[in-house]
Amino acid sequence: MTRLVDSFRRKITYLRVSVTDKCNLRCIYCMPEEGVMLKSHSDILRIEELARIVDIASQLGITHVRLTGGEPLVRQGIVTLVGVLSEIPGISDISMTTNGLLLPGLARPLCEAGLHRVNVSLDTLRPERFQKITRRGDLESVFAGLDAIEAVGLSPVKINTVVLKGINDDEVEDIAMLTKERQWTVRFIEFMPFWNNGWKFGERYVVPIREIRDRIMAQGAYPVESDIAQGKRKDEVGAGPAKYVKFPDAEGSIGFISMKDHICSGCNRIRLTADGLLLPCLLSDISVDLRTPLREGAKDDVIAELICKAVSLKPENGQVAQAMVACPGGNPSLSKIGG
């Protein structure tokens, strides 16, 4: 039985772990072109420190770990970390969110180390537009990465697409059509204009998620009764932020994510930054420092209590977060906490 139950009776079973603040892309909705100020090497948690936190968290009820960044595949030792985490008895699911560029060479080692699933960011199907959105990298490598994870059995494959008005919103239908031939779940994400993501004027780039959903439904999609169809275990159903539809006879499905759709009520996750801050909410400035006590020799029970403290501070919904979005410097950048 999990000890991680917040003040609103939500059981916390999901830990997102940012393994690095570095990224090999400069996506326009995530960070400025010149990048962001990176933490020093000594500030970033070591592999054994990340593993220890996850091990302690698993004893409190965490069962699912998602590795994020920055870009997690640029972290040295990422395959080793996956292998160590896979040996923790309480962890039944290890997933990763990545831009996919390095997957062609790492898909098989990651799978053999114990990774279960991968989410790949893909905001366009047009090579020239990919260059514009990411400011570097190439689309061909992303599709090679998708082929690689399918080949080694890392499934279900999920694609995350941030929709931006005037940038890629004209591709919504084309991207959704990927699900007709491939067993992929495409998830359209409503852009969140954070102060620290380099787009201080970002509201005008927001495409309401309901508009995106209506466009997909107009193409003949129908609601999916249960998100078990997305490859989730029964104990995960209802915990995720997306709602799903599907085209008739399609291999995959389509999801929609918006912070405005009351997703907070079922939130079962907390986030660990690469420098050791535990965040009970993506959009809040509340955090609990784990790195300092770890390096000062704190015993496991002390770290466990700090994890419990972070969970107790989890806000009920995103109202606090909405205030933070409007407050310059109030929340860490998406590039540093893995979205």
Kindly report, residue by residue over 208-239, the tens digit of the pLDDT.
999 999 999 999 999 986 554 445 544 443 45
CA 191 to chain centroid = 14
186 with 179: CB under 8 angstroms? yes
pLDDT the model gives residue 323: 43
As a whole-number percent, the residues of the chain with pLDDT over 90 amount to 70
* Intervals of the chain under pLDDT 70: 1-2, 34-35, 193-202, 225-241, 260-263, 318-339
Give me the sheet containing 253-257, strands edge to edge.
222-223, 243-246, 253-257, 184-190, 157-163, 117-121, 93-98, 64-68, 14-18, 269-272, 277-279, 288-289
- CATH entry 2.40.110.10 includes domain 14-337: no
pLDDT the model gives residue 334: 54
pLDDT the model gives residue 35: 65
pLDDT the model gives residue 228: 44
Cβ neighbours around 2 below 10 Å, total: 15
Per DSSP bridges, beta strands 117-121 and 157-163 are: parallel
pLDDT the model gives residue 326: 40
Burial-class residue 200 by CB neighbours within 10 Å (0-12, 13-18, 19+): exposed
Residue tagged 């180390």 (tokens):
113
Q: Which two tokens stand for residue 128?
A: 């020239």
Packing angle of the helix pair 127-134, 139-152 (nearest 10 deg): 100
Domain ranges of the chain: 14-337
Rounded to two decimals, what is the model's pTM?
0.88
Question: Across-strand partners of 118?
Answer: 96
pLDDT the model gives residue 1: 57
* Phi, psi angles (nearest 5°) of residue 325: -60, -35
pLDDT 10s digits, 241-288? 678 999 999 999 999 998 766 567 788 999 999 999 999 987 778 999
pLDDT the model gives residue 236: 44
Measure Cα distances from 30 to 20, 197, 332 in Å: 15, 5, 11
Cβ neighbours around 274 below 10 Å, total: 26
